[in-house]
Amino acid sequence: RLHTIGRGSLAKCLQKVDTFLHRNIGTNVVAVQEKNGFKSLYAVQAERQEQAEKSVLISCHSRTNEQKFLKYIANYGDIQKYFFYESYGMYAVVEFANQESVASLLEGTAIPSISHESLVPFKSRLLSMRNLDAVDLPNQSSGKKRQAQTSIPINELIQRLSKEESIDQQITSLTEAYQLTEENCRLRFLVCSLLKDIAAAFFPECTIMPFGSSVNGFGKLGCDLDMFLDLDGISGKNATMPKSGLFLEYQMKRANLERIVTQNILSVIGECVDQFGPGCVGVQKILNARCPLVRFVHQPSGFQCDLTANNRVAMKSTELLYLYGELDPRVRHLVFTVRCWARAHSITSSIPGAWISNFSLTVMVLFFLQRRSPPIIPTLDHLRDLAGPEDKCVIEDNDCTFVSDFSKIQLESNTETLEQLLCEFFEFYSSFSFRTLSINIRKGKEQNKPEVAPLHIQNPFETTLNVSKNVNASQLDRFVALCQESSWLIQQNKTAPSRGGTKAKGAITPWGVSTLLLPSQVAGIKSRKRRKFEPASERIKSLLESLKNINKELN
C-alpha cells in the first residue's frame, strides 16, 4: 500500500505497486511502462496514485496571496507541484515531494471549534486556509491562470472552430478544448485518494481507482468520476490458498452471493461517505442496480462521483478503450468529435435514460474504425491472440485477455484524414442495418442480432450482454436521422468561407464541424417514417433557414 510504504524508497514503493497489480490485475507495470513510447494505463494509474497520496486539497480565499500561501505550506516540506482552481470558491492542490510532509501538515492542523455545533473529528486531507493576508487586487503576480474545471460552452466552441482553416484542424481543436487537462486529471486521482482514506477505516489495504472516461483518454472536462473500490488485494483472490496455516477469521463473515457482499460493503462505505466525508453531498445508495453504486457530489472538485466495488470487468474495458485511443491519434479525435456532436443534439445526456450512452457511442466509433479498409484499429480477438501469458485475465468466467505490450501491435497503413473519417462515420451509420445486425468490436464485423433490441452492441468482455440495452427505437431513429442530416451538412459546408470581404468586422460564419453542432431540424422527430412525408427539398430549405438565423444570432 503506497500510503504506508511511501516512507521507504521510491523504487521499493513502485516495486510493491508492481507486485500488487501483477498479482491482481495481471499486468506488470514496470515491464510495460513506456515500451515503444507508450505508457500502459496501469503505469499511468500507479504514477498518478502516488502523486495523489502526497497531495492535499486546500480551500482558500479568492484573493489569497500566492507567495505567502506557498511560503506557509513550504514549512511542512518541499512542494513538488501546485495549482489553483475555481469551483464555487478558490482551491489549491498541493503535492509534496515526500509523503511525510502530508503527515506533518495534518499534525499542524486544528479542527475548528464552532459554538452550538459538534464536529466529527476526522482529519482528512481537505483543509481550509484561514486568516492569511489577502492581497488587495486579484492576484496575478505569478501569471498562473486559475483554471475552471469545466469545458467551454458550445457557442464559444462553435465560434472557435469556425476560425480554423480546415476540418482536420477543427477536429483537433475540438479535442484540445474538451479533453481533460493535466490538473483536472490530478484532481480526479486526488478525490479517489481522499475517498480511500474513508474506506481505509474498514479496509486499510484497499485502493480506490478511477475508471471510465476519467482515465480511458476520452473524458471531457466536466465528465463524471467513476471510481472502483478494489478489495481484491486484501482477500488475496488470485493468490494460491495454502493447505494449512492461519486464515483471517473476520473474512468468514460471508454472504452466499458476491453481489450481496458488494451491496453490504457499498452500503457501509456509502454511509461513512455521507456521515464523515468532507465535501461529499447528496449521497445516494443505488444498490439494486446491475452494478451497485454509491452516487454523490464531491463539492470542492465539483465532480459527480459514482463509487462501485467488485467491478473489474469495467476496469478492463477502460484499459481496452485507453489502448485503442493510444494506438492512433485519429481514434481520440473522432471519438471526441462524435461525443460532442451527440451531446449538442441531446443524443446523449448526463441523466440516465433510454438514450445512447457515451460508452456505447465510443464503441460505435471503434467499430467503424475497424471497418475501414484497411482497418485503422485491430479487432479485440486479434488483441487477444497477441497476448502473452502475463496478460491472461479471466473475470467471473469472462475472458478479458488482450495484449498489454503495445509494441506487439502492428497497425495497417490507412491514411484517411479526419475529415474523410468524420464524413464516412455519418454515412456508415446512416445506412447501417440496425434492425438485423449487432455491432461487435471483438470480431470487428457486424453479427446477426442475438436478441430483439433496437440497438445491439455486444459488450466486449461480457459477451452475452448488450451495452445499449437501454436504448429505445425512437432514440435510435433520432441518431440515424441526425447521421443522415450531418452527412449532408458536412458535404455542403466543407470549405471555410473567405475572410474579410463584405462581412461585418468580427462576424464569424459557422462552417465544417461548427455547422454540425448547431441546432438540428430533425432532432425533434420521433420516427424515420414521419420524414418520408416531408419532401427533401423542404427539409434542406428549412435547414438553410435555420443556419441563417443562427448565423445572425452568433454575429
- Residue of 6, 26, 212, 270 that binds Mg ion (CB under 5 A): 212
Q: List the x/- string, 225-244, binding to Mg ion by CB under 5 A.
A: -x------------------
Please provide the DSSP assignment of 100-112 as one string.
Answer: HHHHHHHHT--PP
For residue 460, cis peptide bond before it (omega within 30 degrees of 0) = no
**Smaller CB separation from Mg ion, 366 or 496:** 366
Q: Which of 476, 441, 256 is nearest to 362 (CA)?
A: 441
- Residue of 226, 230, 405, 477 that binds ligand CTP (CB under 6 A): 226
- What separation in angstroms does the CA of 163 have from each of 158, 160, 342? 9, 6, 22
**170 CB contacts (<8 Å, ≥6 apart)?**
161, 164, 512, 513, 514
- Residue of 213, 398, 484, 521 that binds ligand CTP (CB under 6 A): 213
SS3 content of the chain, % helix, strand, coil (to 5): 45, 15, 45
Q: List the x/- string, 58-97, binding to ligand CTP by CB under 6 A.
A: ----------------------------------------
| Residue nearest ligand CTP by beta-carbon distance | 212
H-state helical runs in 54-166: 66-73, 99-107, 154-162
Closest separation between CB of residue 358 and ligand CTP, Å?
3
Check residue 179 for interaction with ligand CTP (CB under 6 A). no
CB 358 within 8 A of CB 430: no
Find residue 395's DSSP bridge partners: 398
**Smaller CB separation from ligand CTP, 102 or 180:** 180
**Smaller CB separation from ligand CTP, 6 or 212:** 212
Q: How many residues touch Mg ion (CB under 5 A)? A: 4
Check residue 224 for interaction with ligand CTP (CB under 6 A). yes
Check residue 212 for interaction with ligand CTP (CB under 6 A). yes
Footprint of ligand CTP on 242-281 (CB under 6 A): none
486 binds, among ligand CTP, Mg ion, none (CB under 5 to 8 A by kind): none
Encode 44-55: b = buried (16+ Cβ within 10 Å), e = exposed. Answer: bbbbbbbbbbbb
- Residue of 124, 139, 175, 213 that binds Mg ion (CB under 5 A): 213
Check residue 516 for interaction with ligand CTP (CB under 6 A). no
Check residue 291 for interaction with Mg ion (CB under 5 A). no
Grid cell 417514417 in the structure block, residue = 529
What's the CA angle centered on 400, arms 397 and 405, to 5 degrees? 150
Closest separation between CB of residue 313 and Mg ion, Å?
15
Q: Which of 191, 83, 201 is nearest to 143 (CA)?
A: 83
Check residue 219 for interaction with Mg ion (CB under 5 A). no
Footprint of ligand CTP (CB under 6 A): 211-213, 216, 219, 223-224, 226, 314, 317-318, 357-359, 459, 467
